[in-house]
Amino acid sequence: MHTIEAIGLTHHFSKEIPVLENIEMRVREGSIYGFLGPNGAGKTTTLRLMLGLLRKQGGEISIFGKPFEKHRTELLSNIGSLIESPTVYGHLTATENLTVWQKAYRCPKNRIPEALRLVGLHGTGIKKAHQFSLGMKQRLGIAAALLHQPSLLVLDEPTNGLDPGGIIEIREMLRNLNREEGVTILISSHLLPEIEKLATDVGIIHRGKMLFQGSLASLLLRQHQASRIAIETSDNAAALQLLAGNGLDPRIEAGCINLAAAEKPAIADINRKLVQHGLDVYRIATVEDDLETIFMNLTNQ
């Protein structure tokens, strides 16, 4: 079952330029869906549409199997969200900030200290939120999203402003929520390594179009398929000619001959042929594109 299903999502801020074009998004129940894209790709607009912060212009959105517009309040009672910068009432303390949301969500009061402890803000006492650092504000925003124990978390760049230790803590916390409490998480980021370490599923958006959607494993498979062999010899030009004459498609890149990935026997055969023709082979290596390169390739298409 899909926790979120968006079909044909289209949005324009002005008549000429579409911000989103026919976006299809399916977030599996119990998954951590990493929503990737460069700045301005349409991630936040998609999330805002899903939460009803923007009026929908085209397409359908259903959450927990129900159309969002018809069941808005019912669905929102089970969704925690953090969109862009965190919402913090600067003149209130962390506890008071969460009390505002506790009343709005009508959840038990004892969730407030629990949520604060979860994000490491339980010791802030009477300190007003305007005195918090950016990282602390971000944590408070995450605490507000977790307060009512939602089944779905929608987090837009949640680690913005956090120090490396904080990033790891929040990542671990999200992973635990997903594993232990079965919370489905939709997390957007422009930072691939962050998503790579956390997500089970990935969606890549660029210029309002969905370029890839699937499991992280399928993206990794794509990465494997895009791998190649790099060969360095005593005479790369002669080696190039030889390999081309044997039905391969070699290219010289950065002082190496690059070939499409091949099975082990085929690599041994290439080596044998090079040596038999009097060429010294200095290096044969399998080169895999990292996810970043795949991401760049996808977004540069």
Partner 1 sequence: MSTSFLHSFQSEWLKTRRSLAAWLVIIGGFFLPFIMLVGRTVYHEKTSAESTSPLFWENLAGQCWQFMALFLLPMGVILATSLITQIEFRNNAWKQVHTTPQHFYTLFWSKLMVIMVMVVQFFILFNIGIYLAGAVPALLLGTVDYPSQPFPFMYMLKTSGRFMLDILPVVGLQYLISLQFKNFFVPLGVGIAMLMLSLVMVEWKYGYIVPYTYSPYNFFELRGSAMSGSKDVNIHWLALSYFAFFTVLSFVLYISKKEKG
Residues that bind partner 1 (CB under 8 A): 48, 51-55, 73-74, 76-77, 79, 81, 83-85, 87-92, 96, 99-101, 103-106, 144
Q: What's the min distance (Å) between Cβ of 66 and partner 1? A: 13
- Shorter beta-carbon distance to partner 1: residue 95 or 271: 95
C-alpha 198/C-alpha 36 separation (Å) is 12
Q: Is-contact 107 143, C-beta < 8 A? A: no
Q: What's the min distance (Å) between Cβ of 145 and partner 1? A: 9
- Shorter beta-carbon distance to partner 1: residue 79 or 136: 79
- Shorter beta-carbon distance to partner 1: residue 28 or 48: 48
Which residues fall within 8 angstroms of residue 209, CB to CB, at 6 or more apart? 21, 22, 23
C-alpha 168/C-alpha 180 separation (Å) is 18
Q: What's the min distance (Å) between Cβ of 248 and partner 1? A: 55
Q: What's the min distance (Å) between Cβ of 78 and partner 1? A: 8
- Shorter beta-carbon distance to partner 1: residue 113 or 165: 113
Name the residue type at position 293: T
Q: Is-contact 280 233, C-beta < 8 A? A: yes
- Shorter beta-carbon distance to partner 1: residue 91 or 272: 91
> Strand pairing of 251-253 and 79-82?
unpaired
Alpha carbon of residue 284 to chain centroid: 34
Q: What's the min distance (Å) between Cβ of 184 and partner 1? A: 16
